[in-house]
Amino acid sequence: MGWDQYVEQEPLYRDVPEDLVRLVRNRPPNNESSNVTDRETGERIHSACGVFWFDDEQWRVAEGLLDHCDQTGIDPMIGPGFDYSPAVYRFGHDFLTPESVVEDQTSDWLIDADEGDDLAVVRRIFARYG
């Protein structure tokens, strides 16, 4: 068995709230998502290497993922990618604002100096995608 099989993926989502699992279950296949299909039922679920969510108070790790990590000896904070995946959420920092992006000299945001003031550019980006 491997990560590309439904029988391996579906259990990783154990104890995730159903309203969240619905977001990754039975999505139509496309070039941007990686689904695995149960050959017997036709059910599909997004293929994941880590299953984490934020419940408005704290980050949670799916019990199914923790079970998998226990069985395979994988560190649940490093192997499934929790150490880098949510980095954009700025743990230990203020929520991302245009001002915090400009102040953060290590930001990955690419600002074109020819477009003018950095803060004005980032505010336009936030307005466009916010």
Range(s) of the domain holding residue 19: 6-88
Are 125 and 61 contained in the same domain? no
Average pLDDT over all residues of the chain? 79
> Is the separation of the CB atoms in 52 and 61 below 8 Å?
yes
C-alpha span between 15 and 53 (Å, rounded): 11
- The pLDDT of residue 56 is above 70: yes
pTM of the model: 0.62
Are 82 and 98 contained in the same domain? no
CA of residue 128 relative to chain centroid, distance: 22
Please choose, from the candidates 126, 10, 1, the residue with its C-alpha nearest in 3D space to the C-alpha of residue 64. Answer: 10
* pLDDT (average), residues 35-50: 89
Predicted local distance difference test score (pLDDT) of residue 1: 41
pLDDT digits (tens, 9 = 90+) for 79-104: 777 666 666 665 666 667 778 777 76
- Structurally, how many domains does the chain consist of? 2
Are 77 and 101 contained in the same domain? no
Are 70 and 22 contained in the same domain? yes
> Does some domain include residue 1?
no
Q: What is the chain's alpha carbon radius of gyration, rounded to the nearest angstrom?
A: 19
C-alpha span between 126 and 130 (Å, rounded): 5
